[in-house]
A and B are shown apart, each in its own frame.
Chain A
């Protein structure tokens, strides 16, 4: 049997990414160059942001006789794929799972940017699929890999990732089509022709410049996550470079300096120098304890916790001149004007939280009994780019001197002290256990009901772990159970509300054990 070559190309995309247009361009380019071709897709509901695929097959032989064209398959055959052209990086992983690309045959051309799936987003902690694993899998399952952030490149050229990927496909030379065939296809399609041609050329340059050796050709590792270009949020830039802060930080071991420097700047910005001193006073015993990992954990979590987001802090962050600059930059406003409306809805706790403890404590105790779930709230939409709106929020920042005696401060610092005491107590038993207890502070986050719920978990974790550790200490154990309890409880809560019941059950079960 004589056989004509067949080339196959799969586009694993996310609905709404323009995969259909990409497919049309490739099919049209093949037709322009006289290669019998066939493309298909499964739009349907997957178009609505789900995983979807587009598939192209073309004959390796140009202008064959009419009765001598290949029988095209409507489906990709796992293991018999020549090109995987992926407009999103997680979908590369999915294609590998399904067995489509193979190391002996497939060229993977992929954009490394991520569109996070809903299952990655709804995790309370970090639910993002590790991008290093995707890179390793893409390398292992390709003959040649061209991976770069096509979306970023597209944005630079005012276009979409699909045009850039078409360019990369052309530049890779893996299909026998001329560059001009693709260009003609873009022109014939007539959709945003100029911008798409710019994107095409940019993608072509990247692929043409990439090395062609097996497993090579990756242009960097892309961006695992879009990073915010603005400087550290709380830190007033001036504070960071203050010589006394530098001096203080220099007094700490090498591995702690960056954290301490960041923390001090932030604490001074948050309250004042005395407050920063208080932080240092709390941190020092752990530094002197000698375990660097533990000291780093305490230093990091304590700084975040001590700068908890009360109404005053939110007002401070919302009324910085640098904030409006950041918004203009992020939203690409250029020469235009902006009107910013803030969605603020402090609940009762957050309102009386900023007032002096002595004044509001009786009321707070009553309110907590009166509204055990969900306190009354004060919802408002404030236009912070108008003078009156800005002024209303900005006035709140003047309550800052009251903060040390506020109701909220009393509550937060009491809890911090309980946490520090627990960490210190555990450190006398087992450093690894102390580290786990220190990490529990990661649970303390959010606002309003969320923060109350997370704090309740934190309290329960602390109580359960301390109880278990006491029992293990008495029994002369090695604290394995307590360590595991602390770690598992935190992990479960950070998975999301559905796992919180399991966490609570875990704590209850441990407590009931002899």
Chain B
């Protein structure tokens, strides 16, 4: 499973004291979990933390089992958060991971309960902040969840050593405060390559090899009144104060002093690199991060420690806060503290920076420049800072001279040969050719299938959450004049769609059509197994199927179609949209994710060909003299391998269609041309390498006859 093989990384996870691990940030975090003596690890895959699940799945047999560590890929983030329930009653360490903020939202019920009951075993939640460039989800930050549930939140400086240290500190902090701890990591930091000096892995005291013998019962850990009132009080009287003590004692936050002691900068640890680079380009720091400006680096951003911050603010005239996302809790807390302590310091943050969005260098540099030039520093003149800033940015004013029109956008889309894409070709063709049924409300879902909302399909009127497609059409459907369509992938179906979607629709007798795109994996996160894959993440066989689950909920109208056969998909959709059968109609469009299939098939075919055996590979093509260049096929297909080339015809104006050599021969271009009655330009060619003598003979005989006929031709 997964997009890559992790054999090398699994080996590195086994490294002992002093060995040097080379890899990405997320690998260092994974290694640090094993060094912390966890009894269990789980999570739900999603960028940027899927890798943690991938590599542990591969490490299960060689590494985790011998240590007795339980590993699971949980059914959803809620299930992952509930894993932490193990640490409420038993003194064992555990860690879970997911993509945030969406995963945190899904997890929040279990999370609130764990945070309320409190833990006695260290519990760390690695949250991959899918925020800013490259993000695939709505833009919120996790800070507010940490605040409302009193979950300490670590946002450490970006280096592999720092990540490993703070994972360990996270467990310590959790045990000191009896609260689970968030360990936040950003997209780029997850994929940052570096080195880590390793320690030995630690065998957990409680494990599958030395399991618990007796249950532990303590009524004050049950989330029911009156104990919930005690728990609430404990959070603020005991747990958070304990967390603050731990933060101070262990020096989690870093105070760098400097000569310019009238000013200072407070930042999240995760923004350290960008802020220091900003100071460097303005001439206020060297490349090693030495700067005359005092810095307060908050590697723990919740809870904040007032004494630490007041000490930093004391004696300063101006302080700048670099805090990503809104609301700006840190900045507001600092202002409140300064006010209460009657400190005459001016604190600025969002007013000098963008109020929202990822803090990329040009935003931070702009903010720093405004801050230091208005505050005044001894080590650089304002003129010199302005000169440096201008040198960095002057060229940007001239972009419009060479590129007056914006360059074409390039949204992500379905891969070449994707089995989901043809379903949206079918829906678009149905919308165009039979608008009376096909031009209806379509509720889209999360996953690769969300790309249907992009060009060229623009199919999907709303996207509401993972597995929520069908549920999101519950009110639209009865209030819409036509039967509506909902779409979800197999990943979404098992994550949330089965209960909140199908069960809810059946219970409320919704009359609509659900399309389930079954490509055997959660493809968007990197071909992770889902319950209907046939095997779980540990590669143990699992017999669950989508039709069985649907039938179990009482769905009667279920059709399974081959997603590449567009006419069949259109026909089935037409039937679903027009049948007199009331209730939920489910169309399962099925075929394996092409990325995964090619990853398996390509090396096999290469081996066969190298061994001299006959190999047949289908490819598609366009006859350049038959194509008139109207590009209708592109508007209905969208395959990356279906592209443009200059017409060989000197009399024509427009480029023509062309299938490039990345084609995998899925046949959709021919199917689209057929189903939408486009043109006769497409052909399939089966390329036969190492033909057998029989194939060669037939080929030669046919060729001879055809050449003869062609020569007689007109």
The answer to whether A and B assemble together is yes
Judge whether B674 is part of the interface by a CB distance below 8 angstroms: yes
Stretch in B476-484, B568-576, B640-648 touching the partner: B640-648
Interface pair A450/B678, CB less than 8 Å apart: yes
Judge whether B451 is part of the interface by a CB distance below 8 angstroms: yes
- Closest CB in chain A relative to B592 CB, distance in Å: 16
Interface pair B188/A45, CB less than 8 Å apart: no
Judge whether B670 is part of the interface by a CB distance below 8 angstroms: yes
Interface pair A45/B412, CB less than 8 Å apart: yes
Chain B contact patch, size range: 35 or more
Judge whether B383 is part of the interface by a CB distance below 8 angstroms: no
Query: Binary interface profile of B, 654-686, with partner A (CB < 8 Å = 1, else 0)?
Result: 110010010000000010011011111011111
Stretch in A319-327, A405-413, A480-488 touching the partner: A319-327
Query: Binary interface profile of A, 417-429, with partner B (CB < 8 Å = 1, else 0)?
Result: 0000000000000
Query: Binary interface profile of A, 220-255, with partner B (CB < 8 Å = 1, else 0)?
Result: 000011111011111000000000000000000000
The CA-CA distance from A398 to B713 in the complex, in Å, is 8
Interface pair B399/A228, CB less than 8 Å apart: no
Q: With a CB–CB cut-off of 8 A, which chain B residues contact A225?
A: 644-646, 655
Q: Which of B191, B365, B391, B709 contacts A42 (CB 8 A)?
A: B191
- Closest CB in chain A relative to B415 CB, distance in Å: 6
Q: With a CB–CB cut-off of 8 A, which chain A residues contact B396?
A: 78-79, 99
Q: With a CB–CB cut-off of 8 A, which chain A residues contact B626?
A: 309, 314, 317-318
Within A26-55, the residues touching B (CB, 8 Å) are 27, 31, 37-53, 55
Judge whether B11 is part of the interface by a CB distance below 8 angstroms: no
Judge whether B524 is part of the interface by a CB distance below 8 angstroms: yes
Q: Which of B288, B456, B621, B677 contacts A71 (CB 8 A)?
A: B288
Question: In the complex, which residue of chain A has the Cβ closest to the Cβ of B272?
Answer: A71
Interface pair B407/A93, CB less than 8 Å apart: yes
Within A356-403, the residues touching B (CB, 8 Å) are 373-374, 377, 379, 381, 384-387, 390-391, 394, 397-398, 400
Question: In the complex, which residue of chain B has the Cβ closest to the Cβ of A155?
Answer: B661
Stretch in B115-123, B215-223, B236-244, B629-637 touching the partner: B629-637
Interface pair B680/A116, CB less than 8 Å apart: no
Q: Which of A70, A300, A330, A445 contacts B630 (CB 8 A)?
A: A445
Within A74-121, the residues touching B (CB, 8 Å) are 74-80, 90-91, 93-94, 96-97, 99, 102-104, 115-121
Q: Which of B48, B392, B678, B714 contacts A79 (CB 8 A)?
A: B392
Judge whether B402 is part of the interface by a CB distance below 8 angstroms: yes
The CA-CA distance from A4 to B408 in the complex, in Å, is 38
Q: Which of A38, A97, A346 contacts B192 (CB 8 A)?
A: A38
Stretch in A205-213, A336-344, A506-514 touching the partner: A336-344
Judge whether B286 is part of the interface by a CB distance below 8 angstroms: yes
The CA-CA distance from A484 to B629 in the complex, in Å, is 25
Q: With a CB–CB cut-off of 8 A, which chain B residues contact A336?
A: 687-691
Within B516-535, the residues touching A (CB, 8 Å) are 524
Q: With a CB–CB cut-off of 8 A, which chain A residues contact B684?
A: 340-341, 343
Q: With a CB–CB cut-off of 8 A, which chain A residues contact B680?
A: 314, 318, 342-346, 447
Main secondary structure of the interface of A (DSSP, over half): mixed
Stretch in A136-144, A170-178, A179-187, A466-474 touching the partner: A136-144
Q: With a CB–CB cut-off of 8 A, which chain A residues contact B410?
A: 14, 49-51, 90-91, 94, 117-119
Interface pair B688/A122, CB less than 8 Å apart: no
Interface pair A97/B286, CB less than 8 Å apart: no
Interface pair A140/B402, CB less than 8 Å apart: yes
Given contacts A90-B407, A118-B455, A126-B653, contact A48 B412 (CB under 8 A): yes
Judge whether A1 is part of the interface by a CB distance below 8 angstroms: yes
Judge whether A123 is part of the interface by a CB distance below 8 angstroms: yes
Stretch in B129-137, B338-346, B496-504 touching the partner: B129-137
Judge whether A6 is part of the interface by a CB distance below 8 angstroms: yes
Question: In the complex, which residue of chain A has the Cβ closest to the Cβ of B623?
Answer: A317
Query: Binary interface profile of B, 404-421, with partner A (CB < 8 Å = 1, else 0)?
Result: 011111111111000000
Judge whether B202 is part of the interface by a CB distance below 8 angstroms: no
Interface pair A447/B679, CB less than 8 Å apart: yes
Interface pair B395/A99, CB less than 8 Å apart: yes
Judge whether A15 is part of the interface by a CB distance below 8 angstroms: yes
Given contacts A44-B135, A77-B392, A337-B688, contact A394 B274 (CB under 8 A): no
Given contacts A99-B393, A228-B624, contact A304 B651 (CB under 8 A): yes
Given contacts A231-B648, A377-B677, contact A319 B713 (CB under 8 A): yes
Q: Which of B285, B414, B658 contacts A226 (CB 8 A)?
A: B658
Interface pair A228/B645, CB less than 8 Å apart: yes
The CA-CA distance from A137 to B392 in the complex, in Å, is 18
> Which among A23, A122, A128 has the highest number of chain B CB atoms within 10 Å?
A122
Stretch in B31-39, B300-308, B579-587, B698-706 touching the partner: B698-706
- Closest CB in chain B relative to A119 CB, distance in Å: 5
Judge whether B194 is part of the interface by a CB distance below 8 angstroms: yes
Judge whether B21 is part of the interface by a CB distance below 8 angstroms: no
Q: With a CB–CB cut-off of 8 A, which chain A residues contact B673?
A: 343, 345
Within B598-656, the residues touching A (CB, 8 Å) are 619, 621, 623-626, 628-632, 634-635, 638, 640, 642-655
> Which among B395, B642, B682, B690 has the highest number of chain A CB atoms within 10 Å?
B395
The CA-CA distance from A344 to B682 in the complex, in Å, is 8
Judge whether B281 is part of the interface by a CB distance below 8 angstroms: yes
Question: In the complex, which residue of chain A has the Cβ closest to the Cβ of B287?
Answer: A70
Interface pair B273/A233, CB less than 8 Å apart: no
Interface pair B640/A16, CB less than 8 Å apart: yes
Judge whether B448 is part of the interface by a CB distance below 8 angstroms: yes
> Which among A3, A45, A99, A450 has the highest number of chain B CB atoms within 10 Å?
A45
Interface pair A71/B414, CB less than 8 Å apart: no
Question: In the complex, which residue of chain B has the Cβ closest to the Cβ of A48?
Answer: B412
Query: Binary interface profile of B, 270-292, with partner A (CB < 8 Å = 1, else 0)?
Result: 00111011000100011111100
Interface pair B395/A2, CB less than 8 Å apart: no
Question: In the complex, which residue of chain B has the Cβ closest to the Cβ of A235?
Answer: B649
Interface pair A445/B290, CB less than 8 Å apart: no
Q: With a CB–CB cut-off of 8 A, which chain A residues contact B689?
A: 334, 336
Interface pair A48/B413, CB less than 8 Å apart: yes
The CA-CA distance from A97 to B397 in the complex, in Å, is 10
Q: With a CB–CB cut-off of 8 A, which chain B residues contact A386?
A: 702
Query: Binary interface profile of B, 363-400, with partner A (CB < 8 Å = 1, else 0)?
Result: 00100000000000000000000000001110110110
Question: In the complex, which residue of chain B has the Cβ closest to the Cβ of A448?
Answer: B677
Q: Which of A23, A321, A442, A449 contacts B677 (CB 8 A)?
A: A449
Interface pair B362/A40, CB less than 8 Å apart: no
Interface pair B133/A42, CB less than 8 Å apart: yes
Q: With a CB–CB cut-off of 8 A, which chain B residues contact A125?
A: 653-654
Question: In the complex, which residue of chain A has the Cβ closest to the Cβ of B647?
Answer: A228
Judge whether A289 is part of the interface by a CB distance below 8 angstroms: no
Q: Which of A231, A258, A387 contacts B705 (CB 8 A)?
A: A387
Q: With a CB–CB cut-off of 8 A, which chain A residues contact B678?
A: 446-448, 450
Interface pair B289/A71, CB less than 8 Å apart: yes
Interface pair B653/A43, CB less than 8 Å apart: no
The CA-CA distance from A502 to B643 in the complex, in Å, is 27
Q: With a CB–CB cut-off of 8 A, which chain A residues contact B213?
A: none
- Closest CB in chain A relative to B469 CB, distance in Å: 17
- Interchain residue pairs with CB less than 8 A apart (21): A14-B410, A38-B192, A41-B191, A43-B134, A44-B187, A45-B524, A59-B287, A90-B408, A116-B408, A116-B643, A118-B634, A119-B410, A120-B408, A133-B402, A319-B713, A336-B691, A343-B674, A381-B670, A447-B680, A448-B677, A497-B635
The interface of chain A, by Cβ under 8 A from chain B, is 1-6, 14-16, 23-24, 27, 31, 37-53, 55, 59, 68-80, 90-91, 93-94, 96-97, 99, 102-104, 115-129, 133-134, 136-137, 140-141, 155, 224-228, 230-234, 258-259, 262-263, 266, 300-301, 303-304, 309, 314, 316-321, 323-324, 327, 330-334, 336-347, 373-374, 377, 379, 381, 384-387, 390-391, 394, 397-398, 400, 442, 445-450, 454, 494, 496-497
Please give 7 more A-B residue pairs, beta carbons under 8 A apart, in addition to A31-B22, A118-B456. Answer: A41-B191, A47-B412, A71-B288, A73-B273, A78-B392, A343-B683, A346-B680
Closest 9 CB pairs of A and B: A233-B625, A42-B134, A50-B412, A228-B648, A93-B407, A343-B670, A446-B630, A79-B392, A44-B47
